[in-house]
Amino acid sequence: MANLFFIHTPLQLMIAQMIIEQEKLIDNVMLCGYVDDNKQFLQLYDLIRIEYMWKAIEPMDDVARWAMFSRKKLLSGTYKVFLRYRYICRVVKKHRINTLFLGDMKNGSCQLAAVAFHRKGLKICFFEEGSGHYIHNIDYGNEGSLWEKIYSSIIDFLYYRPFFGSSFAFFKYKKGSRLEFLPMDVRYSIVPFYHESFDKLITCKMQVSDKINKQIATELVGAHKDGNVLMLTSPFYILHGDDDDPSLYIRIIVDTLCQIKNNVHVWLKFHPREKKDVADEVCRQLEFNGVKYQVLGKEMCLPVEYYLQLMHFEVVYMFLCSSSLYNGYLFPKTKFTSILRPFYELCKAEGSELAWYLGSVIDNNSIS
């Protein structure tokens, strides 16, 4: 019997290989795709993948959204979801899969996969894929309204119950946490945040391919052994509705780095979903202010954990990302400093709508 890993980000693949090594798993199959327009992730997978760990690779570009459909295209959308579901079923049958490893508890496609295949008798494992694994849900809009209840009842009766054997829409549109209904045999985490009987910690033992070692070595030519600081970006302006004006986001990054001593060398690691024009503007302003810097992952945006494995940074500045949550376990000698609260204070002072969301994130995660 074999294991099927749903992979749609480089970080998921990195953590999947840590689990494979820890649990000594064999006969592992990767169902791989990418999120949004990040087709370059497929190239990153080739660098990150350790060949002997994988029995087969099955492509599915929209693996992160295979269960999504629009209400405006209800009939065609639900039909496409069913076709994708049948494709996954064929992969499961072809490789005699008995365990699913899903990398995002809050992703609707992962949730439906868990519900549907648990009903078929498969074991369901969720594993962490970054900070979202630990952040509590924040409700928006009119979820749980009378219209939503009527809509979900109709969709369940006509679609989810006949084809997937579950009242999935009822839970999907339910106000509040949607995690309690998920079937979950094991939940893998790096940080000891959850304490249910099915929770299991991931041993922080990085698995690095030869290709990764060569790629990073070329980027770090001439790097200083000491006096390095790293800035990790996190594009809140894209993720949470402030897409039109990233100026405050740019300002907090530049202001933070301009306050660093002149004898320190600055390294920038832009988030995979960072907009190019925003990254270019950050670099332009740093150059204008005389800050010496280098960009990591300019050609290939690898997970930052690989760089932290091979290079020492005295301080890592970040907003909120997986690195801020668990790299204290991996790299206890490195100081991690969050600039999320200064960013929140700036947004609040400037009257930005983003301030409410940032305040919620800070409160829910006890960020000082």
Judge whether 10 lies within some domain.
yes
Task: List the structure tokens of 24.
Answer: 């000594």
Q: Contact 358/346 with Cβ under 8 angstroms?
A: no
**Residues 36 and 125 both lie in one domain:** yes
Domain count, the chain: 2
**Residues 236 and 303 both lie in one domain:** yes
What pLDDT sits at residue 301? 81
What pLDDT sits at residue 364? 65
**Residues 39 and 64 both lie in one domain:** yes
Judge whether 92 lies within some domain.
yes
Angstrom distance (rounded) from CA 346 to CA 342: 6
Judge whether 134 lies within some domain.
yes
**Residues 190 and 236 both lie in one domain:** no
Q: Which residues of the chain have pLDDT under 70?
A: 131, 135-145, 170-180, 222, 239-244, 321-330, 364-368
Give CA 42 to chain center in angstroms.
15
**Residues 239 and 355 both lie in one domain:** yes
What pLDDT sits at residue 214? 85
Of 280, 230, 281, give the one whose Cα is nearest residue 251: 281
Q: Contact 116/164 with Cβ under 8 angstroms?
A: yes
**Residues 287 and 180 both lie in one domain:** no
What pLDDT sits at residue 139? 45
Judge whether 168 lies within some domain.
no
- pTM for this structure? 0.80
What pLDDT sits at residue 96? 97
Judge whether 148 lies within some domain.
no
Q: Is 7 helix (H, G, I), strand (E, B) or coil?
A: strand
- Which residues on neighbouring strands pair with residue 232, listed in sequence order? 269
What pLDDT sits at residue 60? 94
**What letter does residue 231 receive in the DSSP assignment?**
E
What is the side-by-side strand order in the sheet with 186-189? 56-59, 28-32, 2-7, 97-102, 123-127, 186-189, 199-201
**Residues 322 and 240 both lie in one domain:** yes
**Residues 180 and 319 both lie in one domain:** no
Judge whether 151 lies within some domain.
no
In CATH, what number is assigned to the domain containing residue 57?
Answer: 3.40.50.2000
What pLDDT sits at residue 321? 59
Judge whether 187 lies within some domain.
yes
**Residues 249 and 330 both lie in one domain:** yes
Q: Is 176 left (phi over 0), alpha (psi -120 to 50) or beta?
A: left
**Residues 215 and 197 both lie in one domain:** no
What pLDDT sits at residue 141? 41
What pLDDT sits at residue 27? 96
**Residues 259 and 311 both lie in one domain:** yes
Judge whether 161 lies within some domain.
no
**Residues 50 and 180 both lie in one domain:** yes
In CATH, what number is assigned to the domain containing residue 355?
Answer: 3.40.50
**Structural domain harbouring 335:** 210-365
Beta strands in the chain, from DSSP E residues, in sequence order: 2-7, 28-32, 56-59, 97-102, 123-127, 186-189, 199-201, 228-232, 265-269, 293-296, 315-318, 335-338
